[in-house]
Structures are given as structure tokens and as C-alpha cells.
Amino acid sequence: MKKKDYRLSAIIGFNILITILVVATPIIYIQYQTSSQLFEEKLIQDFEEDLKLTQLFLNSEFKIMNNSLNSISENKEIIKSLEEDNFKKVKKVLEEISTDFSSSDFLFISFDQSKETIDVSINLHDDSSIIEEYLERKSNETLSFGVYNNSNVVIFTKKPIISTNSGKVLATIHTGILLNNNLELLSKISDRINHHNLFVFLGDKFIAGIRPLKEEERKIFQSSFSQKLFSTDQKIYYSGKLDIFEDVDLNIYFETSSLLIEELRQSYFKYVIYTVVLTFILAFISMLLTHALLTPNLKRLLNFLHSTIEDDNLSTYKKSSIEEFNIISDDFSTVFQNFKIKKNQLSRFINSSQLPILIWDNDGTIIQLNESAKNFLDLEKVGENIVQDSLLNESYSFKQLLNKLEVNNEIFNEEIIFKNKKEWKYSLWTINKDKHEEIYFAQCFDNSEKVKAQVEIELERAKSIHNQKLAALGEVASSIAHEVNNPMGVISLSLSILEDEFHFLKITNAKKSEKIERCLNNIDDSVTRTSSIISNLLDFSRESSKDKQDNKKLKILIDKTLIFIESKIKKQKVRILIEDMDSELNVFIKETQFSQVLINLLNNSIDALENCSVKKITITNRSENGYCYLGILDSGTGIPSSMVEKIFTPFFTTKEKGKGTGLGLSISKSIMKEMKGDLILKESEQGAHFIIKLPLKN
């Protein structure tokens, strides 16, 4: 996806826009928060005033009730009727007076020594049970608060009626206000507090309200008891406690519309919209001004930079009216001149170096190289690909190194093996990747001669040790053969005598006769086999100087060689399959050294088959153009492609540490080269496939 380009004027305008918004937004937000806080504090203050007014109103109501009771308790007609025990007249007088107690729900007289009452209460409740429960509590308080019948909340006040003659308490006059759904009382309070709706709770229980509460509203109140001020989408509520009675959790909630907050929000929203619109206008004007001032000067500066880089020569720059652009052009000119000096110095160093030096980009395209690199890697010019167009195109180790560099930007010192038109090259490479520019710097050193010299020294040393071992083995084998041949001759002679004597013996038991004859044959076979092994051992262990290249039957040589590793083959349960071997085929080789090569290849295959389910080694042969090609193919896992290039390299081994020297295949290849043959690794879909190239009969 192509990256989108932006104009400088647009970026500056956008920056102005963002700057104003970033500065203005917190200011507007802080102003809004401050105003909201002030509004909230003012609202709480107003509600607290309403709470005080409510409390004053209730205290005033209770005082009025108390004064009314005083007038009743001092009523001479009631006192006289009580002294005369004329209760009917008392009730009649009370009923006449009760019209002055329209705000009270209860009005009755009780007697200390009797449960009888004179009740003239006017309400819709079962006042007799409430009065009975109230009197049973025998409260000593003039003003008392109580919950009756588990749900009715009543505030009672009382006054004794005292005889004017005797000073004796004749009875007690009581009056009370029922708070449950007392709309008249709540309406009076609401009229005095700016017509706010109010609701009264006892604890978490709703007892009265200016209007019925919905179930959702009750849940909101119950979940917000601990909050002084809270709100919903449409309403604001204030919670206050009525301090009329001690130890009574009587709470009152004021309700008002939330339109004030909404108006505050809308005003600030308009202010924000105005600020944003003004900011966009300012940003757009700034963008136009910037475009008009910067674009011509910037284009001229860019043209100067572009032409200088493209021509690789410092161009002439006409001074701009903007000072910063002039500073940029001056600094660029200085940097460019210094760069050209350094570039020329680097180019001279690279071109004069006797070591191959290359620079290529992330795609492998060569940016710079010297003559040594051209000759060493068979390259022609800049612009070619380091992998595809050079001798490194088939080098697995170089491709591995490039993969490492893609992951890791460290400096690598690696040995790279590749093949030119004539021979294998061993080179030491130092490669560094510039992670910012995605460029690779490489210097290499042709180490082929040194490696060849080391290989030849090690091969000669290994051959010398091997020949010493063979010489020692030859002496031991000669001694063993001498010591073993004498008793074997005695055994053979004795066996002939036994066979002759056996024919003259007359054994009536046919089974015994057959058994003895079979034993004699087994002894004869064992003597013959032992003699053959001793003979082969002597042939194999004789000095290499005496091992002359001559015409030998290939089938006989293979059979002789297999005798030496027969026990290992049986132990590992490996099946040897020899396909279409001509028993008369002669090859021109050194017998002992050929056996060494064959044993080494077979041992390698047997080791490779150790953990395989199918253990098979196939030996094939074909003759072509004066050579016999002897194939050794096993059913193992084969040789990884990453190791194919190095398989004949001295001291390289695929075996575990301590199980191989890494010289077997390299020595075997040099042995076959000496005999005008070769040892070749052939590509195979399964297992390792080696070809021994043998010259045919001389």
C-alpha cells in the first residue's frame, strides 16, 4: 500500500488545529467542572435551607398542636363534665372543638385508671388499634414518635386535664399526626420550599410523599441513602435528616428538575462548538498562508538538492527569503562536499585493494566492487546480483549466511566454499550489514591454497599413520599366519588320515556313521575358511609400497572385503544385496587400498542404518567408457543438502563427536584419484548413494 503524501501547509494547519484544541479542551473542561461544582454547592446550600424551613415548619405545627391541647385541657366545661363523670357531654364538647384540629388525625381523652377513651379522631385508619398500642407504651414524653401496626408512623402530643377544685389529674388529652401519605402536611411544606417535591423515609422504608413513588424510584432512593446529592436522567435529589426526635432515622428527600444542569451542559456544548469552528477557520487560514509563503521557496530548495544528488555535482542555489531554507542549503553544500571527499577516498581504497571487496543492497544488487572481486567471483560490472550472477549461486553456505544477516545485524566472519570453473574455492568472508541503509559490506580472502596445503599435510600424516598401522598389522598377521598355519597343517593332515581310516571302519549304526562323516566335513570346511581368512589378512595388511596396481577380478575383491566386516553386518542385521555382478569383470586397481575404500563406505552405511527399520545396502555396477561404476546405496536417511558441498572436506563428519575423524571420505577420494578413478556422491531420493569410479582392465 502506497504511503499518502501530505503538504507542509496542511501539516502546519493541522498542527495549529491540534494545538488550539489541546489547549482549549482542558480549559473548557476545567471551566465546566468548576461551574458544575459551584452549581452543585449552590444547590446543596438551597436544599439545606429548605431542610431548615421544613424542620421549622414541623416544629411550628407541633407547637400549634401543643397550644391547642392547652386550650382543651383548660376548658372549664370539659373539666366540669369530667368532675361530674358526664362523659357524653365531654365527647360532645370535644366534637365541637375538633373542628379546630383539622390538621390532626387523632384527638382523644384517656384515663389513667381505665382503658376507656373518648375518641373523636377523624381518619381513614383503624385508629382504635393505633390508640390502644400507643397507650400501652405509656410514653412519658409530651411529644412522642412511633410506628404502630408495623406500618403507621404517628407523632403524638399529650396534655393532662387537671381539676380546678382538687388539683387532681382527671384525664389526659391526646392529639396526633399520621405521617403515612399525609398529602396535606407535605403540600404545606412544599408550598414553603419553592414547591419542591418531597418524600419521607423511615430508615429505608418509604412512608410519605408528595406523589406516589414508582418501583424504579424506590430502588434509586434505597441505593443512594449514603449520598447527600444524587441525580437521575430527569431529576435531582437531596437527602437530609429531620432532627425532631432522638434515635429516629427520619429522612426527607427533596426532588427538583434537572433542567438546570441540562441548560448548563447545553451552554458549554455551544461554547465548545463555537471554539472548534473558530479553530478550524484559523487552521484553514494558516494553511493557506503557509502554502503561499513556503511552497515556492521549498520547491526551489528541493530542486537544488535533487539536481546536486542526481548530477553528483554541487548545483547553484538562489537564496530564499526564508532564512531557515538558506541555512539548510548551506549546510547541505558543506555536507555534500565532505561526502564527496570521503566517497573518493573510499573508492580509491576499494579499487586499490588486492582483497575482493563488494557492496550490495538488500535485493543482492551489487553497488560497488573492485577488480579483485570481479576476478575472484567471475563478475563483470556493478548492477549484477551477488548470488545469481556470481560463482556463489550454488553455494549453500553463502545463502545460509545471507539468511543469518537478515535476522541479525552483527558482523559475521565465515568460511564460504564455492566452485569455480576448475576447482573448489575456500574463502574467508567478513560481512557487515548497515541496518539503516539495508546495505551489505563484504571483504573476502582466498584461503584455498592454505586449505589445500593443510589438507595435503593432514592427508599425508593420516596416510603415514595408517601405513604404520598396516605395517604393524602385517607383521602381526604374518606371525599369526605362521603360528596358525603349522597347527592348521597338522589338523588338515590328521583330518585326511581320519577320513581314510573312517572308510575302512565298519559301523553298523547308519546314524552314527552319518554323524561322524558330517563332523569331519565341518572340520574340513572350517580349516579351509580359516586358511582363507589368514590369506586375505596377509594380503590386506601388506605394505602399501608393495600394493601394486594390477588387473583384479572385482567380484573376488568384494567377497574378500566383506569377510572383514561380516561380524558387524550380522550384529547390525544388515542385508547386503549385490546386483548383477559379473564374476569375470576385471578392474585395474590396488587391491589393498580399494578394500580400504570399500570398507570405509560400507562401515559408514552400516552406522547410518543403526536406527532404521529397513537395513539394506545395495551394491550395483555398470561399465561405460573404459570405467566400472560401482554403486553403494543404503536405505538410511541420506545426507542433508546443507552438507553435500562439504562431505569430502577433510575433518568434516556427520557423526557424533568422538565417533568419526572426518578423514575417511577425503582419504578414500584421494586414494581413488591416485588409481585414476574417483569417488562421487550421487543425488538420491532415499539414503546415501556413493559411486566408486574404477578403471577397467589395463
Q: What is the mean pLDDT of each run of 10 residues along the chain (698 residues)?
A: 58 71 73 72 80 84 84 87 87 82 82 84 73 84 82 87 87 88 79 77 82 80 75 77 78 74 70 77 76 72 72 71 72 77 77 79 79 76 73 65 68 69 71 75 76 70 64 63 66 69 66 73 72 62 64 89 84 89 88 86 88 90 92 88 72 61 76 89 86 86
List the Cα angle 67/71/73 in 5-degree steps: 110
- Quote the longest CA-to-CA distance of the chain: 179
Give the pLDDT of residue 217.
Answer: 78
Q: What is the pTM of this model?
A: 0.38
Please list, in sequence order, all residues whose beta carbon lies within 8 angstroms of the beta carbon of residue 333, skipping any fewer than 6 positions away: 314, 317
Write down the pLDDT at residue 439. Answer: 81
What CATH number does the domain located at 447-546 have?
1.10.287.130
Kindly report the CA angle at 229 between 227 and 233, in degrees rounded to 5? Answer: 110
CA distance 414 to 378: 20
Beta-ladder partners of 144: 156
CATH class of 549-698: alpha beta
Q: Which residue has the cell 538488500?
A: 362
Q: CATH 3.30.450.20: does it fit domain 354-446?
A: yes
**What pLDDT, on the 0 to 100 scale, is given for residue 588?**
92
**Are 434 and 367 spatial neighbours (Cβ–Cβ below 8 Å)?**
no
What residue ranges do the domains of the chain occupy? 74-178, 354-446, 447-546, 549-698
Q: What pLDDT, on the 0 to 100 scale, is given for residue 575?
A: 92
pLDDT for the residue numbered 483: 65
Selection from 429, 399, 437, 386 nearest residue 411 by Cα: 429
d(CA 65, CA 284): 75
pLDDT computed for residue 630 by the predictor: 93
Give the residue among 95, 61, 253, 92 at the shortest CA–CA distance from 176. 61
Write the CA distances from 643 to 161, 203, 672, 673, 692, integer angstroms. Answer: 124, 89, 21, 22, 20
Sign of CA dihedral 476, 477, 479, 480: positive
Same fold yes or no, 74-178 and 447-546: no
Q: How far is CA 412 from CA 349, 399, 429, 445, in A?
A: 22, 13, 8, 14
CA–CA separation, 456 and 115 (whole Å): 136
Q: How many Å apart are CA 146 and CA 44, to the nearest integer? A: 30
Q: Are 667 and 459 in contact (CB under 8 A)?
A: yes
Backbone angles phi, psi at 51, to 5 degrees: -65, -40
Strand partners, 366: 360
* Angle subtended by helix axes 448-504 and 664-674, to nearest 10: 80
**What is residue 410's predicted lDDT score, i.e. its pLDDT?**
64
| Contact of 668 with 600, CB cutoff 8 Å | yes
Which residue's C-alpha cell is 412522642?
144
Q: What is the CATH number of domain 74-178?
A: 3.30.450.220
| Position 253, amino acid | Y
Residues 57/189, Cβ–Cβ less than 8 Å: yes
Predicted local distance difference test score (pLDDT) of residue 533: 66
